[in-house]
Structure 1
Amino acid sequence: MARVVGVHGIGQQLLGEHQLGAAWAPALADGVTRAKGRLDPDDVGMAFYGDLFRPVGRALAVGDPRYTASDVEEGFEQDLLRAWWEEAARTDARIVGPDERTLLRTPTAVQAGLRVLSRLPYFADVALRAMVFDLKQVRRYLTEPGLRERVWERIDAAIGPDTRVLVAHSLGSVAAYEALWHRPDWPVTTLVTIGSPLAIPGLVFERLRPPPDVPDGTLPGTGRWPGNVRAWTNVSDEGDIVALVKDLKPRFGDRVRCHVVHNGSHAHDAKPYLSSQEVGRAVASGLGGAGD
């Protein structure tokens, strides 16, 4: 089994473990090389769960449902869209954020938010219906009974006795964090999260399983440490709107090593993260090679 296992993020439902592995393995190997270590791409495996979100096919229709702005539901989905929009405005002076009057409570405001995000490099090649589908994936994972446990099972199937490092991107970082806590018997000792939304207040953090520890009854509290992991490194790009909270230490403790990198125009893409020296150093260290 693989010594390093990757866990993908949102929007991968039309791919699979072999396609993703073919992209992730060389990128991770390059990152480890930057850290003056060595990683054989054959030592990298993928935990794939995207098909759990793929709609059941029917005659003459395959792929994502043809969502429109009107399909962005009130509550979680609109709140997440607004959070992404506000973060995009914070990191790019050219973008006008939502004002207090709209708050995405109307179809027109939702459409405007989707239109703004579609101009960002990460979403530039993403159709509107697919962007809405991404919002629904996050909401479904966090709220749909039994779904997150099925995702954990996919990660479990990829973990072997030799697996030491888990590298998880975007929504996959939430799944990996939760799965590690619920499976302390895994041999994984190093967690690397990239482009992670784990600490987003109100939307993600308080919905984690296990829930945050709130000793004084005052939210948001402190996140539990993930299982038997000895080292946790979180890497984010300043322009990554999905990773709204770059520093995880205030929520998960000072043991988390947090780094900010520059991924160029595609801030949330997995491959620039994977090939960075910071990720490579964390992976190499977890495997007992070069690193900090």
Structure 2
Amino acid sequence: MTVVAVHGIWSRQSGVTPAAAAELLAVRWSDKLAAGYRDAGLTDPAPRLAAAYYAHLLDDQPPGADDPETLTPAEQSWAREWMRQAGVPAETAQAPAAPPLRQGLDWLARHGDPDARTIGRIMTALLREVSGYRTRPGVRERCRQIVMDAIDAAGARVVVAHSLGSVVAYEALCAHPEREVDLLLTLGLPGAVFDGLVPEPVGGRGRRPGGVRRWVNVADPGDLVALPAELGGRFPVDLHDTVHLGKVDFHTLGGYLSRGVTAAALHPYT
């Protein structure tokens, strides 16, 4: 059984073709998932992973693109939504003295999160790549088609998607309700992009992809990029579970794959 994994931000593999990049990531993630199976106490071999690789379509960011000071007005509005979910006071997010993400990070640092700078770099990269995914002509459709091509090529009935990749996989499967998937496992889905999803949420709730039989979401409660951590109020997930990645693996697909919680969710379907 092959599982298709869909990457999130910062996944560009330089100097190789997209096909070679996908293979490199698949090998790396397979090793992480094998560690997750061991962490869960599973004796069965972990399934083979195939990667849906689309990072080359988003990788033309200018120098300093991970600096919150350089966010566009649209990206700043998404930053305000993220800050609201992170618990930053509204008056801080709206103050005109500095870009909203910088204000929110300063507030987080003052209130006990020493890694606010790292969070800021990750959030800025996420917002930049989300912007490219949403606004560049044809990119959204091409990314979604890459996911569907990977699923079809592998004959996969299980999809694991991380961060921005959760958005891409969700939209791809919504656009293809005829494609049956036994399990959609989303990891660290970023809530700040909720309002821009396709199809558009109705009544404050996202839709369920028509061909998905079971949808499990796993999030680290300490992962401030993956907010809100509990998706049940916004999406018709079947199960929400939590995992604690720590600071080393903060918001990484490898970190999620190497944990027993992720392996336990996958095991019945592989």
Q: Indicate yes or no: 2:218 matched with 1:225.
A: no
Matched to 1:258, the amino acid is H
Deviations 1:85-127 (A, max 9, x none): 5555x5xxxxxx4660552644465545466789765963x99
Q: Return closer, same or farther for 1:32/1:206 CA change in 2, 3 Å cut-off.
A: same
Q: Aligned to 2:220, which of 228, 234, 237?
A: 237
Deviations 1:124-167 (A, max 9, x none): 3x995x76443211123234442211101111221235312100
CA distance in 2, matches of 1:123, 1:170: 19
Q: Aligned to 2:129, which of 130, 137, 147?
A: 137
Deviations 1:22-42 (A, max 9, x none): 32111112223415252346x
Aligned match of 1:211: 200
Q: Once the 2 structures are TM-superposed, how far is the Cα of residue 188 of structure 1 from its aligned partner? A: 2.6
Matched position secondary structure for 1:12: coil
Q: Indicate yes or no: 2:45 matched with 1:39.
A: yes
Q: Once the 2 structures are TM-superposed, how far is the Cα of residue 182 of structure 1 from its aligned partner? A: 1.5
Aligned match of 2:255: 272
Aligned match of 1:71: 70
Q: Once the 2 structures are TM-superposed, how far is the Cα of residue 17 of structure 1 from its aligned partner? A: 1.8
Identity %: 35
CA distance in 2, matches of 1:117, 1:20: 33
Q: Indicate yes or no: 2:94 matched with 1:103.
A: yes
Q: Aligned to 2:23, which of 18, 21, 31?
A: 18
Matched to 1:189, the amino acid is D
Deviations 1:240-265 (A, max 9, x none): 11111122222223x52100111112
CA distance in 1, matches of 2:41, 2:156: 20
Q: Once the 2 structures are TM-superposed, how far is the Cα of residue 225 of structure 1 from its aligned partner? A: 1.2
Please identify which structure carries the higher helix content.
Answer: 2
Deviations 1:161-198 (A, max 9, x none): 5312100000100111111122234353111000012x
Q: Return closer, same or farther for 1:120/1:23 CA change in 2, 3 Å cut-off.
A: farther
The correspondence of residues 162-173 of structure 1 with structure 2, limited to 5 A, is: 162-173=155-166
Between the two proteins, the alignment pairs up a number of residues equal to 257
Q: Indicate yes or no: 2:245 matched with 1:263.
A: yes
CA distance in 2, matches of 1:153, 1:279: 26
Q: Once the 2 structures are TM-superposed, how far is the Cα of residue 283 of structure 1 from its aligned partner? A: 1.1
Matched to 2:176, the amino acid is R
CA distance in 1, matches of 2:11, 2:108: 19
TM-score by length of 1: 0.75
Q: Return closer, same or farther for 1:131/1:195 CA change in 2, 3 Å cut-off.
A: closer
Residues 126 and 164 in structure 2, CA contact (< 8 A), matched pair in contact too? no
Q: Return closer, same or farther for 1:45/1:104 CA change in 2, 3 Å cut-off.
A: farther
The correspondence of residues 186-197 of structure 1 with structure 2, limited to 5 A, is: 186-197=179-190
Q: Indicate yes or no: 2:46 matched with 1:48.
A: no
Aligned match of 1:93: none
Residues 84 and 90 in structure 2, CA contact (< 8 A), matched pair in contact too? no
Matched position secondary structure for 1:251: coil
Residues 194 and 234 in structure 1, CA contact (< 8 A), matched pair in contact too? yes
Q: Aligned to 1:183, which of 173, 176, 179?
A: 176
With 169-178 and 203-212 compared, the bigger mean Cα shift is at 203-212
Aligned match of 1:147: 139
Matched to 1:140, the amino acid is G
Matched to 1:181, the amino acid is C
Q: Return closer, same or farther for 1:109/1:153 CA change in 2, 3 Å cut-off.
A: closer
Matched to 1:138, the amino acid is V
Matched to 1:79, the amino acid is S
CA distance in 1, matches of 2:257, 2:219: 11
Matched to 1:39, the amino acid is P
Q: Return closer, same or farther for 1:110/1:267 CA change in 2, 3 Å cut-off.
A: closer
CA distance in 1, matches of 2:36, 2:68: 38
CA distance in 2, matches of 1:227, 1:122: 38
Aligned match of 1:59: none
Matched to 1:249, the amino acid is G
Matched to 2:253, the amino acid is A
